[in-house]
């Protein structure tokens, strides 16, 4: 049997420890596991109570409502496809779905709404990364730079000045907000270091309001309504358990 001297054993243990610490640091840097949106991820805007728009809105992606009918989608000038399963709109680069459209749309929407609610519950149930990620800034996060992690607030959250989310392309952010979420006019959620909007989840129990000409990144999972005011640029998704209102906005999902 081959013998190892004391020095060799110490060296092996040291290397193992370094590798172990490196793995832990990498995992911490990436933050929590992502939130699975299921089939709700097939929609850029999804609502249980309606989607309305005024002004010249541009949406890139599918939108849908359920369990309500297509009449709850207003301002889009919908044209029903000959298949009867979806509509088109000059404001939407994608398809528009409603619960009263032809098979298989109703069943697909029922599943998507269920997946949206499951994703909301999943995001809300994650444990905060640490005590330092609870009630950060007393709910006012403007001017802060936030690393990947699970952040929890027992209050409303406001973004009165720009906030930066800094991490690599694998970083995941989950923001748990017990109150409302509001971003001031002209302000931005800035991504840095390779951070991607698809990995950011805003779980909001109250209403979400994005002020005029603001820029926002991430998937909004809202238990109530989402309002995007004039000139908003949303890179992500608006998934609401009530209504979504838009006013000459741009919504994309890269």
Q: Is residue 23 scored above 90 in pLDDT?
A: no
Cis peptide bond N-terminal to 5, omega within 30: no
User: Per-residue pLDDT tens for 117-176?
Assistant: 999 999 999 999 999 999 999 999 999 999 999 999 999 999 999 999 999 999 999 999
Whether 98 contacts 69, CB under 8 Å: yes
pLDDT score at 89: 98
Q: Return the residue matching tokens 């994309």.
A: 252
Q: Return the residue matching tokens 């949406």.
A: 59
Residues near 39 by beta carbon (within 8 Å), at least 6 away in sequence: 108, 111, 112, 115
**Residue extents of the structural domains in the chain:** 38-252
Whether 239 contacts 219, CB under 8 Å: yes
> pTM to 2 decimals?
0.89
The rounded distance, in Å, linking the Cα atoms of 62 and 43 is 5
């Amino acid at each position: 049997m081959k013998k190892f001297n004391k020095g060799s054993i110490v060296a092996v243990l040291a290397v193992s420890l370094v590798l172990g610490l490196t793995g832990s640091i990498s995992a911490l840097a990436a933050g929590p596991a992502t939130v699975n949106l299921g089939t709700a991820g097939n929609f850029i805007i999804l609502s249980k109570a309606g989607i309305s728009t005024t002004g010249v809105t541009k949406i890139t992606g599918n939108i849908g409502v359920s369990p309500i009918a297509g009449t709850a989608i207003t301002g889009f000038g919908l044209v029903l496809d000959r298949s009867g399963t979806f509509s088109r709109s000059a404001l939407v680069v994608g398809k528009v779905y409603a619960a009263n459209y032809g098979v298989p749309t109703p069943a697909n929407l029922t599943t998507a709404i269920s997946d949206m609610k499951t994703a909301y519950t999943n995001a809300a149930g994650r444990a905060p990364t640490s005590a330092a990620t609870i009630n950060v800034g007393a709910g006012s996060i403007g001017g802060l730079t936030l690393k990947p992690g699970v952040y929890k607030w027992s209050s409303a959250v406001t973004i009165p000045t720009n906030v930066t989310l800094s991490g690599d392309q694998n970083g995941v952010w989950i923001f748990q907000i017990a109150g409302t979420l509001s971003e001031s006019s002209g302000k931005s959620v800035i991504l840095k270091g390779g951070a991607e909007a698809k990995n950011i989840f805003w779980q909001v129990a109250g209403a979400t309001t994005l002020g005029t000409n603001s820029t926002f990144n991430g998937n909004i999972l809202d238990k109530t309504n989402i309002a995007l005011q004039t000139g908003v640029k949303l890179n992500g998704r608006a998934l609401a358990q009530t209504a979504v209102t838009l006013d000459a906005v741009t919504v994309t999902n890269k």
